Structure 1
Amino acid sequence: MDGRESAVGPSAEQLLGTAAVARRPVGSGESQRASRAWWDADADDYLTEHGADIGDVDFVWCPEGLREADAHLLGDPADLAGRRVLEVGCGSAPCTRWLATQGARPVGLDLSGGMLRHADRINAATGVVVPLVQAGAERLPFADGTFDLACSAFGAVPFVAEPERVMREVARVLRPGGRWVFAVNHPMRWMFSDDPGPDGLTVTQSYFDRTPYVEIDAAGVPTYVEHHRTLGDRIRDVVAAGLVLDDLVEPEWPEGRETVWGQWSPLRGALFPGTAIFVCRRP
């Protein structure tokens, strides 16, 4: 989930020398290097800003506040015990820890060493210690059929140049019957600026423009990259990986929730969805 409001001390933009915004194609390697550098630089600020929102041992799917304890998107909570679960893009790993408290056998994976440093710190502080692996989502370092479940709450998928590869990799490491649930910015949000106020209610670009959003330094090197796919693109990636889409959840903004989180706000949430959650399974 977006951590771009900054910050305490130098911001990630300052640390990385962000100088401009570009709209241009970005390949997998370039995108991965930018994401690793960004989240390493932004990790401290992100946790300062959003640590209370995501918790240390909690599974929050999205800024709308939907929790796995209530939604059961991974299945009946009683069935989590003993299940091997992979969290893709775990960040500081609150979801991974929550799964451990339910009796699951989870692993948290993230590209950013900075985020995993916080995950390790919170492991020690909470006493809920979960395994952590540093790797990218497009090439998962696990054997075929390793996991019963996989999940991602705004981790990895919006930031990779080849999300279809992520779907194939998750399908590969899941056992038959395994479930894969991932949450991303709702694709229609691409049409609007990242503004939680009235200016964020005006369409500024085409929904069908898949050119990445790229921030660059003075030499033109990407410092932040985010990739857009339409709903149809996401569904096609799921199906092409041999997965079955069982549900598409678009959480509504809860009445009385006043939280402003990046581009998410009560104003925008009352009018259109901010999150899309894809509930998939390997046949």
Structure 2
Amino acid sequence: MSPPRLSFAGFRAVPPAQGGRAGRGWWDANAAEYLDEHGEFLGPADFCWCPEGLREDDAHLLGDVVGRDVLEVGAGAGQCSRWLGAHGARAVATDVSAGMLRAGRELDRAAGVRVPAVQADARALPFADASFDVVFTAFGAIPFVPDAARVHAEAARVLRPGGRWVFAVTHPIRWAFPDDPSARGLTVTRSYFDRTPYVEADDAGQVAYAEYHRTLGDHVADVVGAGLVLDSLVEPPWPAGHDRTWGGWGPVRGAKVPGTAIFTAHRP
């Protein structure tokens, strides 16, 4: 599948159903290109939380995973789940995109580690209540749906009591700045409180991509609304010597503005 030709790219309101289903087609069409660009940085079986390069090996945000049932939602090609499987967890990867899951099977072969993978919408997980000790996502699912509260509710549902929910998203403050990693991107151009989604539409006017902004307060409200307890908010600094740019992320802006927010919570 080839990426569609775009007739519009910018901020505008879209019907929730259109925005919510756009992610599957976009990731199917762009899986190979995405992995060509970022695959080496992510590694076939490594656990990278964010463009700052924070690894779970150092952060330990999921806690001790040995012998634990761990679910990754919005897993992409399953790199994080593959790392977890190699570190003693019983990991399952889910993603809405068949294209990303196909790429994951190639990485299974390359890494010599097979991770069970299921095509599923994070808003309707095909698992029984209280099935997992840990649920997490690293930039998956939440930014690409208009009703992220459903993702949190599903995470809470499939968690066992005491289980941990961890999710990484673009830091909400970044939405106030243009998507430019240079010094030009250091000037605020949009209201932090403007929640109009970023949208790309094809020549037929159909939504090909949609990404949704939520403030810090919105994320907290979604966590609490799902009956979870918020434990911490991690804002990884841009590390010295890390010169890679990734979209709007890079060392120039990273030295001054946080790029990632990682929330940890648990089911009481």
TM tier, shorter chain?
A: over 0.9
Question: How far is the alpha carbon of 1:22 from its aligned partner?
Answer: 4.6
Identity among equivalent pairs (%): 60
Question: How far is the alpha carbon of 1:28 from its aligned partner?
Answer: 4.1
Distance in 2 between residues matched to 1:219 and 1:125, nearest whole Å: 39
User: Who is 1:252 aligned against?
Assistant: 237
Please, which of 151, 155, 163 is the counterpart of residue 178 of structure 1?
163
- Cα RMSD of the aligned pairs, angstroms, is 1.2
User: Who is 1:158 aligned against?
Assistant: 143
Distance in 2 between residues matched to 1:23 and 1:193, nearest whole Å: 12
SS at match of 1:150: strand
1:138 correspondence with 2:123: yes
1:34 correspondence with 2:22: yes
1:69 correspondence with 2:54: no
User: Who is 1:261 aligned against?
Assistant: 246
Give TM-score scaled by structure 2 length.
Answer: 0.97
Question: How far is the alpha carbon of 1:255 from its aligned partner?
Answer: 1.2
Contact 1:57 1:97 in 2 (8 A): yes
Distance in 1 between residues matched to 2:253 and 2:81, nearest whole Å: 29
Distance in 1 between residues matched to 2:208 and 2:188, nearest whole Å: 26
Question: How far is the alpha carbon of 1:27 from its aligned partner?
Answer: 4.0
User: Who is 1:16 aligned against?
Assistant: 4
SS at match of 2:9: strand
Question: How far is the alpha carbon of 1:175 from its aligned partner?
Answer: 0.4
Unaligned residue ranges in structure 1 (runs of 5+): 1-9
User: Who is 1:6 aligned against?
Assistant: none
User: Who is 2:183 aligned against?
Assistant: 198
Distance in 1 between residues matched to 2:156 and 2:16, nearest whole Å: 20
Question: How far is the alpha carbon of 1:26 from its aligned partner?
Answer: 2.9
User: Who is 1:5 aligned against?
Assistant: none
Question: How far is the alpha carbon of 1:273 from its aligned partner?
Answer: 0.1
Contact 2:70 2:91 in 1 (8 A): yes
Distance in 2 between residues matched to 1:124 and 1:249, nearest whole Å: 33
Contact 2:167 2:264 in 1 (8 A): yes
Please, which of 197, 202, 205 is the counterpart of residue 220 of structure 1?
205
Q: Which moved more, 1:266-275 or 1:27-36?
A: 27-36
| Superimposed CA distance per residue, residues 48-87 of structure 1 (whole angstroms, 9 cap, x where no aligned partner) | 0000010011000001110000000001xxx311110000
User: Who is 2:217 aligned against?
Assistant: 232
Distance in 2 between residues matched to 1:219 and 1:167, nearest whole Å: 33
1:44 correspondence with 2:32: yes
Distance in 1 between residues matched to 2:57 and 2:159, nearest whole Å: 22
5 Å matches for 1:48-127?
48-75=36-63, 79-127=64-112
Distance in 2 between residues matched to 1:274 and 1:209, nearest whole Å: 18
Q: Which moved more, 1:216-225 or 1:43-52?
A: 216-225
Going from structure 1 to structure 2, the CA distance change for 1:28 and 1:123 (only over 3 Å counts) comes to farther
Going from structure 1 to structure 2, the CA distance change for 1:169 and 1:28 (only over 3 Å counts) comes to farther
Equivalenced residues, count: 268
Residue identity matched to 1:32: G
Unaligned residue ranges in structure 2 (runs of 5+): none
Distance in 2 between residues matched to 1:36 and 1:145, nearest whole Å: 27
Distance in 2 between residues matched to 1:42 and 1:220, nearest whole Å: 19
